[in-house]
Chain A
Amino acid sequence: MTTRRRARGRLPLILLVPALLSLAFLVVPLAGLIIRAPWSTLPSQLLSPEVGEALRLSLVCASLATVICLVLGVPLAWVLARGELRGRGVLRALVTVPLVLPPVVGGVALLLVLGRRGPIGQYLDSWFGISLPFTTAGVVIAEAFVAMPFLVISVEGALRATDPRYEEAAATLGASRWLTFRRVTLPSIAPGIVAGTVLCWARALGEFGATITFAGNFPGETTTMPLAVYLALEADPDAAIVLSMVLLIVSVVVLASLRDRWIRGVS
């Protein structure tokens, strides 16, 4: 206890000022949202069917997108961390591109490829009658595209931090590769997977640009909360504030409740 206190006392004061500034920079706008909220009409706005519909759609789509990212992203992270392949650096850069790409560009790319005149979309349309733009499935795809790198990076980091000797030991004891992956590798990176899942889900929940570009906007089918916020701002700023607050609260509750229980392991 005493050592920890002494270590804390050594924090250079000169860092405290920018630290507080950055804290204010991140927190004050959110506080502004709460201050400006139309408290008197808040309950009736929250109970309106449009808000419920958009929130339900947001939660369902973000969760489905996260499941897709988990199923596809964990193996990809494993390949990036452990795979003996040339050009792994390029591969990793490609995987993380959606992280820095403006989401609307991602939406345009998805529309051009998966739209009904796109190189893949035209066959989906003519062979299977599947058209992804303007559907809930399109929302899930747009969200997964944008959120996947968050999961892959977290899991890859966790994989790199684990000691491969446990896996080697399991292999020398006769475990197959798949058994080793399931019983040794996966449990050891579980905190990393949980952290990545939470980040991925939160990113999917807030996704706007790719969704509105690729999936369009139709209530009950593709209008997620961020889209509802944007369009409400055009006609009724108060409604936009209410919707934003809902999204903010959902995100904070999820991040806060998971943070202490799970993410501490990796930080």
Chain B
Amino acid sequence: MPNLRISTTLVAAMLVLAACGSEAPVGDNNATGAVNGPVTVFAAASLTESFTKLGREFETANPGTKVTFNFAGSSALAQQINQGAPADVFASAAPANMKQVSDTGAASGEPVTFARNRLEIAVPKGNPARITGLVDFANADRKIALCDEKVPCGAAAKKVFEAAGVTAAPDTLEQDVKAALTKARLGEVDAALVYRTDVKAAGGEVDGIAFPEADKAVNDYPIATLAKAPNASTAGAFLQFVLSERGRAVLGEAGFDAP
């Protein structure tokens, strides 16, 4: 039975892949306090571009260090950390997800707010549906993508709609902000509510429209080193680098506000 043979091979391949995937980077337990060796940073997906850049600059400034990132949704990262993932630093897109980690004692010290993000309307290039502001989101004829209220960008969207007194008529509630952005990028929706940093990261493939109510739902990004960090000293140095002038500058270029 050839099908059976194929599926057996597939299962075997899957198991091999799964085994590779779970192999976490092992950090030196750096007791000497030197800034050296590998450091693993768990960071919110919206920090992908800015943190990748910061990581490279940190490695250049501190020879012998190696920054490895795990970018994902903040709540998924918080769960991974609480399940014992060997992370050194956690940068969350929302205080609530940082709290999930600090409540269990997994964070060392108080988390620090290092950046703020605000919502912006993303429309397909050229704004074919001529969206002007939040009020267009109430129009049932428009195709609209929002984030689900259960994820941070959706919770923020809810706040701005309340502030604007607009009842949104979305066509889809996406599982994360990048999914909402993609629907605008592909032109499948007339408008999506995403972060300003996402509009910038899309690099001209979408147009951004700022709106005054965005002030009502500014999102804080906290960062902390972790109590069980395999490389605590380098983790601390990386955190300081994010908070430094240079860190602020890189985050500012990506569209983040300073805290």
Contacts and interface: CB of A to CB of B under 8 A. Distances in A.
B150 A216 contact: no
A231 B173 CA distance: 10
A111 B151 CA distance: 23
Interface string B174-191: 110001000100111000
Q: Give the residue among B179, B186, B188 with the most A Cβ atoms within 10 A.
A: B188
A153 B150 contact: no
A231 B175 contact: yes
A232 B150 contact: yes
Given A231-B150, A235-B150, A117 B186 contact: yes
Contacts of B75: 234-235
A103 interface: no
A218 B173 contact: yes
Given A115-B186, A232-B150, A134 B171 contact: yes
B118 interface: no
Given A116-B187, A216-B145, A100 B3 contact: no
Interface residues of A, number: 24
A57 interface: no
A212 B183 CA distance: 12
A155 B175 CA distance: 36
Nearest to A217: B173
B3 A216 contact: no
A218 B172 contact: yes
B171 A218 contact: yes
B143 interface: yes
A73 interface: no
Given A115-B186, A117-B186, A234 B171 contact: no
A35 B46 CA distance: 35
Interface in B51-102: 73, 75
Contacts of A232: 150
B10 interface: yes
Given A232-B150, A235-B75, A236-B150, 16 more contacts: A116-B143, A116-B187, A116-B188, A117-B187, A134-B171, A157-B3, A217-B172, A217-B173, A217-B175, A218-B170, A218-B171, A218-B172, A231-B148, A231-B151, A234-B151, A235-B150
Interface of B: 3, 10, 73, 75, 143, 145, 148, 150-151, 170-175, 179, 183, 186-188
| 10 interchain residue pairs of minimum CB distance | A216-B172, A235-B150, A134-B171, A234-B150, A117-B187, A134-B172, A115-B188, A217-B173, A234-B75, A231-B150
